[in-house]
DNA sequence: TCACATGTAAAG
DNA sequence: TTTACATGTGAA
């Protein structure tokens, strides 16, 4: 038995996107299992791969497997089937899908040099007493170590903690009081946090009904999807927690997906507080080895619940009962690079393969999901009221055109200014929200109008204040802010546009006595800074918090009674069929940040197009009407959920080549469409991509639209094969995105 | 004729 | 992606 194995080699190329068979030498037979990582000879060299099948007989010559990694099985049959589905659905190589599933990289054990006391705690205390008072920093360091002997900090970290430099630590090492020790880094990202254990709350009537319905679905032991639509502050998390408890009772496992930016200690503690160390966390920021470690922990320890971002949908469970997707509508569930999967769709597929239940939670369902409840594909459960019957906040809309007419040239309307003043007087807190898209700050010359742009991308460089620098958001290119215009030499070159810094500055001018903080990429770059700002806001040390998307996510700030949105319609101007949906979701989300305590909340939305239904209906908290209107326009314009889209992007540093290939592919596609009588299929383009150039690569795109996705996929793959045979311009990159979220 | 550059197909 | 082999080119 186990004579041969079928291996997918780790090479993302069309020609090797098929299994290769190898003979297993006797010494390795005991380690043969699907999902193991192997080393095999490939051509004249060695290569890594994964076992995807075990075969008893072959009718051709084979080479021998060189080695099988014994660490663990990277995927089981169920995850392999899921990978196969992904590769087919999203048109990528099987190996790419597999690599999305397994923890990335090698089992590199990361080490660091940590500081430990050289003597026992008691002895160290004595040393402290006997030390020369002049070495007060050394005493501080030593005392810190005596109090926190298990922290295992590196010398830089320790120096930071006690506000000194590593040289102090060096001195202590030389004296023999402490020593360096190399430790394996096996980080448990939240182990240092103390979690308040919580008991199940007694649910509200609506929650009770929701839990009951979910339990019923779980009991069926048959795959199904439930959409839990609950207004902001309606207590969705408690429903999740009690649903998980039911899954645990049945001896099964749960995956909880939350959007990347919501994966904070607060979120994690909600789950750890209830279920303790049965919970593991899978960040996607975890580095190579760390993710590997967490995987090992999940497999080896008694982990029953995994909380994580997008990729946690692949958590290595064998007896999955439930997958929860919080904020189901969030666009971060779609992966940006290949394979461009959507975690919601993958979750539904995975649930189908393991007879599990998917629970989608949100206040503002994606059009797709709500539509599926209407046609009976998903079950719909609603939580229409906030807990304790708190009212939804009052929303007022300000027409910025009117403001301007009446002579207000600031970015804050009269009303917003008054309300801010009022909150400051009452000692209540406010949040000011800026939609990041369309809100870049750019540097422009006042004399000749020259705008500082990225050489490699078709965008202007963004101005950052701290440190002062110009940066490209697409390729990370950085340069110093010029003192003179590179075009005309004028010294009147300065930054324009509204950024969070600018809002913060203006607020400081308006309310010099207020404490104002800002939360954006600049202020949260430092590790832990995000947490720090949030917690000091929560403690009431900050009166006004200015921020981007980051502050819109489900934090509970009881004392926030005012939310201002500087301009609501920036997203509306984008060439994207989801613009209306995005705007509605964002406004609802932001509005939900207020009135979560005993005091009522108020929301002020400033807009240049206040008549737009996304804004009007967000004011009314009226999702249903919004859905009705939006679904109507989608149906007429033949956009999802009534059709599927496939976006094909061509890119190369030579735009002529890109255009040539785009045209070629466009022609092949139309020819194929005629052949297969593709009347239901529409081809748009080729057109220049909305982001015409990124990292020096020019981009053109083709968009396919049609009711039958498998027909679309077949068409693309056929056309691409044909293109490969035909085209001489092989250097042009062709990238396929199935179900793209936007048009970019 | 050799040394090196460039293209192309194949990988069990 | 790496590699071998085929084919092509220019200088000696
Ligand atoms: Zn750039
Ligand atoms: Zn100029």
Q: Is the peptide bond before A305 cis (omega within 30 degrees of 0)?
A: no
**How far apart are the C-alpha atoms of A506 and A512, rounded to whole Å?**
10
Among A101, A132, A158, give the residue marking a domain's end: A101
Distance A650 CA to C8 C1' (A): 32
| Residue A462, H or E segment | strand A462-465
Measured from the Cβ of residue A37, the count of other Cβ atoms closer than 10 Å reads 21
What Rg value do the Cα atoms of chain A yield, rounded?
Answer: 29
Residue nearest C1 (alpha carbon to C1'): A11
ipTM: 0.90
Whether residue A513 is found in the same domain as residue A621: yes
What domain count does chain A have?
Answer: 5
**How far apart are the C-alpha atoms of A376 and A119, rounded to whole Å?**
68
Please compute the mean of the pLDDT values over residues A367-393 and round it to a whole number.
94
Task: Give the Å distance between the CA of A482 and the centre of ligand 1.
Answer: 17
Among A566, A601, A634, give the residue marking a domain's end: A634
Which one is predicted more confidently, A514 or A301? A514
Q: Choose among A222, A138, A202, A210: nearest CA to A176.
A: A138
Please compute the mean of the pLDDT values over residues A322-328 and round it to a whole number.
97
Whether residue A267 is found in the same domain as residue A411: no
pLDDT digits (tens, 9 = 90+) for A297-308: 888 878 999 999
Is A655 inside any structural domain?
Answer: yes
Is A194 inside any structural domain?
Answer: no
Residue A725, CB, strand B, below 7 Å: no
Alpha carbon A613 to chain centroid, angstroms: 28
Identify whether the C-beta of residue A286 lies closer than 8 Å to the C-beta of residue A256.
no
Is A474 inside any structural domain?
Answer: no
Whether residue A213 is found in the same domain as residue A359: yes
CATH assignment at residue A310 = 3.40.50.300
Q: Which of residues 25-44 of A touch strand C (CB under 7 A)?
A: 43-44
Strand arrangement of the beta sheet that strand A697-706 belongs to:
A682-694, A697-706, A644-652, A733-738
Residues of chain A above pLDDT 70, percent = 93
Residue nearest C3 (alpha carbon to C1'): A44
Distance A422 CA to B6 C1' (A): 75
Please list all protein residues whose beta carbon sits less than 5 angstroms from ligand 1, which is an ion. Answer: A 454, 456-457, 472, 474-475, 477
Most trustworthy range by pLDDT among A90-99, A178-187, A389-398, A401-410:
A90-99
Is A195 inside any structural domain?
Answer: no
Whether residue A132 is found in the same domain as residue A209: no
Whether residue A408 is found in the same domain as residue A510: yes
Is A744 inside any structural domain?
Answer: no
Please compute the mean of the pLDDT values over residues A503-521 and round it to a whole number.
88
Please compute the mean of the pLDDT values over residues A144-154 and round it to a whole number.
76
Helix, strand, coil: what percent of chain A each, to 5?
40, 25, 40
Please compute the mean of the pLDDT values over residues A552-561 and round it to a whole number.
79
CATH assignment at residue A127 = 1.10.10
CATH assignment at residue A719 = 3.30.70.600
**How far apart are the C-alpha atoms of A644 and A742, rounded to whole Å?**
12
Please list all protein residues whose beta carbon sits less than 5 angstroms from ligand 2, which is an ion. Answer: A 445, 447-448, 450, 485, 487-488, 490
Please compute the mean of the pLDDT values over residues A484-508 and round it to a whole number.
84
Whether residue A226 is found in the same domain as residue A322: yes
Average pLDDT, chain A: 87
Is A475 assigned a ligand-binding role in the annotation?
Answer: yes
Residue A11, CB, strand C, below 7 Å: yes
Q: How confident is the model at residue A288 (pLDDT cuts 50, 70, 90)?
A: low
Question: Position of tokens 């408890």?
Answer: A245
Is A47 inside any structural domain?
Answer: yes
Across-strand partners of A55?
A4
Identify whether the C-beta of residue A34 lies closer than 8 Å to the C-beta of residue A73.
yes
Give residue A62's pLDDT.
Answer: 93
Question: DSSP readout, A318-370?
Answer: SSEEEEEEETTT-GGGB-SSSS--BHHHHHHHHHHHHT-EEEEEESS--HHHH
- Above 50 in pLDDT, residue A108? no
Range from A262-276, A565-579, A701-715 carrying the lowest mean pLDDT: A565-579
Whether residue A227 is found in the same domain as residue A359: yes
Q: What φ, ψ does residue A742 adopt, rounded to 5°? A: -120, -165
Distance A734 CA to B8 C1' (A): 21
Is A320 inside any structural domain?
Answer: yes
Q: How confident is the model at residue A193 (pLDDT cuts 50, 70, 90)?
A: low
Give residue A522's pLDDT.
Answer: 74
CATH assignment at residue A11 = 3.40.1440.60
Show the domain range for A245: 205-389
Task: Give the Å distance between the CA of A325 and the centre of ligand 2.
Answer: 50
Range from A150-159, A405-414, A485-494 carrying the lowest mean pLDDT: A150-159
Distances (CA, A) of A432 to A413, A463, A544, A609: 12, 20, 7, 19
Give residue A192's pLDDT.
Answer: 46
Q: Which of residues 116-175 of A touch strand B (CB under 7 A)?
A: none
pLDDT digits (tens, 9 = 90+) for A579-602: 899 999 999 988 888 888 788 889
Whether residue A140 is found in the same domain as residue A8: no
Which one is predicted more confidently, A132 or A625? A625
Is A611 inside any structural domain?
Answer: yes
Give residue A187's pLDDT.
Answer: 45
Range from A435-449, A590-604, A691-705 carrying the lowest mean pLDDT: A435-449
Whether residue A60 is found in the same domain as residue A141: no
pLDDT digits (tens, 9 = 90+) for A660-674: 999 999 999 999 888
Which one is predicted more confidently, A11 or A407? A11
Identify whether the C-beta of residue A570 lies closer than 8 Å to the C-beta of residue A436.
no
Please compute the mean of the pLDDT values over residues A216-238 and round it to a whole number.
94
Q: Between A121-130 and A136-147, two packed helices, what is the crossing angle to 10 degrees?
A: 160
Distance A694 CA to C10 C1' (A): 40
Most trustworthy range by pLDDT among A264-268, A498-502, A708-712:
A708-712
CB burial of residue A506 (10 Å; 0-12, 13-18, 19+): middle
**How far apart are the C-alpha atoms of A318 and A321, rounded to whole Å?**
10
Residue A40, CB, strand B, below 7 Å: yes
**How far apart are the C-alpha atoms of A323 and A257, rounded to whole Å?**
8
Among A79, A101, A123, give the residue marking a domain's end: A101
Which one is predicted more confidently, A154 or A352? A352
Q: How confident is the model at residue A678 (pLDDT cuts 50, 70, 90)?
A: low
| Residue A117, H or E segment | strand A111-117
- Above 90 in pLDDT, residue A708? yes
**How far apart are the C-alpha atoms of A122 and A113, rounded to whole Å?**
24
Residue A13, CB, strand C, below 7 Å: yes
Whether residue A432 is found in the same domain as residue A331: no
Whether residue A344 is found in the same domain as residue A222: yes
Q: Which ligand has the minimum distance to the alpha carbon of residue A450?
A: 2
Q: What φ, ψ does residue A66 adopt, rounded to 5°? A: -85, -45
Give residue A383's pLDDT.
Answer: 96
Collapsing DSSP states into helix, strand and coil, what is residue A142?
A: helix
- Above 70 in pLDDT, residue A425? yes
Task: Give the Å distance between the CA of A478 and the centre of ligand 1.
Answer: 9
Torsion, Cα A493 A495 A497 A498, to 10 degrees, reads -160
Whether residue A410 is found in the same domain as residue A549: yes
């Amino acid at each position: 038995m186990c004579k041969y194995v079928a291996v997918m080699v780790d090479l993302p190329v069309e020609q090797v996107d098929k299994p290769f068979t190898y003979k297993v030498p006797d010494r390795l037979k005991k380690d043969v299992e699907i999902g193991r990582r192997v080393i095999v000879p490939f051509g004249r060299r060695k290569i890594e791969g994964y076992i995807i099948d075990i075969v008893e007989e072959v009718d051709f010559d084979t080479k021998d497997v060189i080695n099988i990694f014994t660490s663990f099985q990277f995927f089981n049959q169920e995850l392999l089937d899921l990978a196969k589905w992904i590769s087919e659905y999203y048109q990528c190589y099987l190996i790419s899908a597999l690599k999305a599933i397994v923890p990335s990289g090698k089992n590199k054990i990361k080490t660091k040099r940590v500081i430990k006391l050289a003597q026992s705690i008691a002895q160290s205390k004595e040393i402290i007493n006997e030390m020369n008072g002049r070495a007060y920093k050394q005493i501080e360091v030593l005392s810190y170590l005596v109090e926190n002997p298990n922290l295992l900090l590196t010398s830089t970290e320790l120096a930071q903690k006690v506000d000194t430099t590593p040289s102090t630590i060096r001195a202590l090492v030389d004296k023999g009081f402490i020593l360096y020790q190399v430790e394996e880094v096996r980080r448990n990202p939240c182990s240092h946090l103390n979690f308040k254990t919580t008991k199940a709350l007694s649910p509200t009537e609506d929650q009770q009904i929701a839990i009951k319905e979910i339990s019923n679905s779980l009991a069926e032991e048959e795959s199904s999807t439930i959409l839990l639509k609950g207004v902001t502050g309606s207590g969705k998390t408690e429903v999740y927690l009690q649903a998980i408890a039911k899954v645990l009772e049945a001896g099964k496992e749960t995956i909880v997906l939350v959007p990347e930016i919501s994966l904070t200690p607060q979120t994690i503690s909600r789950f750890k507080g209830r279920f303790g160390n049965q919970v593991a966390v899978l960040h996607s920021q975890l580095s190579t080895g760390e993710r590997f470690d967490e995987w090992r922990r999940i497999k080896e320890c008694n982990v029953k619940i995994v909380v994580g971002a997008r990729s946690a949908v692949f958590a290595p469970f064998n007896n999955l009962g439930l997958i929860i997707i919080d904020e189901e509508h969030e666009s971060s569930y779609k992966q940006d690079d290949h394979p461009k999967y959507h975690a919601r769709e993958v979750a539904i597929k995975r649930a189908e393969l393991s007879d599990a239940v998917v629970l989608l939670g949100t206040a503002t369902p994606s059009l797709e999901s709500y539509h599926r409840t209407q046609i009976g594909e998903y079950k719909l459960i609603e939580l229409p009221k906030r807990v304790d019957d708190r009212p939804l906040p009052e929303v007022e809309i300000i027409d910025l055109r009117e403001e301007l007419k009446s002579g207000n040239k600031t970015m804050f309307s009269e009303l917003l200014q008054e309300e801010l003043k009022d909150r400051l007087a009452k000692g209540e807190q406010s949040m000011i929200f800026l939609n990041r898209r369309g809100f870049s700050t750019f540097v422009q010359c006042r004399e000749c109008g020259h705008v500082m742009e990225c050489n490699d991308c078709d965008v202007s460089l963004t101005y950052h204040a701290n440190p002062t620098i110009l940066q490209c958001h697409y390729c990370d290119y950085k340069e110093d802010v010029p003192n003179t215009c590179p075009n005309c030499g004028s010294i009147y070159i300065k930054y324009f546009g509204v950024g969070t810094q600018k809002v913060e500055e203006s607020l400081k001018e308006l309310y010099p006595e207020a404490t104002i903080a800002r939360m954006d990429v600049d202020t949260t770059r430092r590790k832990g800074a995000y947490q720090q700002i949030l917690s000091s806001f929560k403690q009431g040390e900050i009166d006004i918090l200015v921020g981007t998307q980051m502050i819109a996510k489900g934090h509970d700030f009881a004392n926030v009674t005012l939310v201002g949105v500087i301009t609501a319609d920036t997203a509306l101007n984008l060439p994207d069929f989801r613009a209306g949906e995005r705007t509605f979701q964002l406004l609802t989300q932001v509005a939900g940040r207020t009135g979560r305590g005993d005091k009522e909340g108020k929301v002020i939305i400033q807009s240049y197009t206040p008549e737009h239904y996304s804004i009007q209906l967000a004011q009314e908290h009226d999702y249903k009407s919004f859905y009705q209107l939006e679904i109507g326009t989608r149906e007429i314009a033949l956009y999802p959920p009534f059709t599927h889209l496939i976006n094909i992007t061509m890119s190369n540093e030579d735009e002529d080549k890109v255009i040539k290939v785009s045209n070629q592919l466009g022609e092949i596609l139309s020819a194929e469409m005629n052949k297969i009588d593709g009347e239901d299929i529409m081809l748009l383009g080729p057109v220049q991509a909305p982001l015409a150039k990124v990292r020096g690569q020019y981009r053109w795109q083709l968009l396919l639209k049609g009711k039958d996705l498998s027909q679309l996929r077949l068409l693309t793959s056929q056309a691409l094969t044909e293109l490969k045979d035909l085209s001489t311009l092989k250097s042009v990159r062709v990238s396929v995105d199935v179900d793209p979220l936007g048009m970019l």
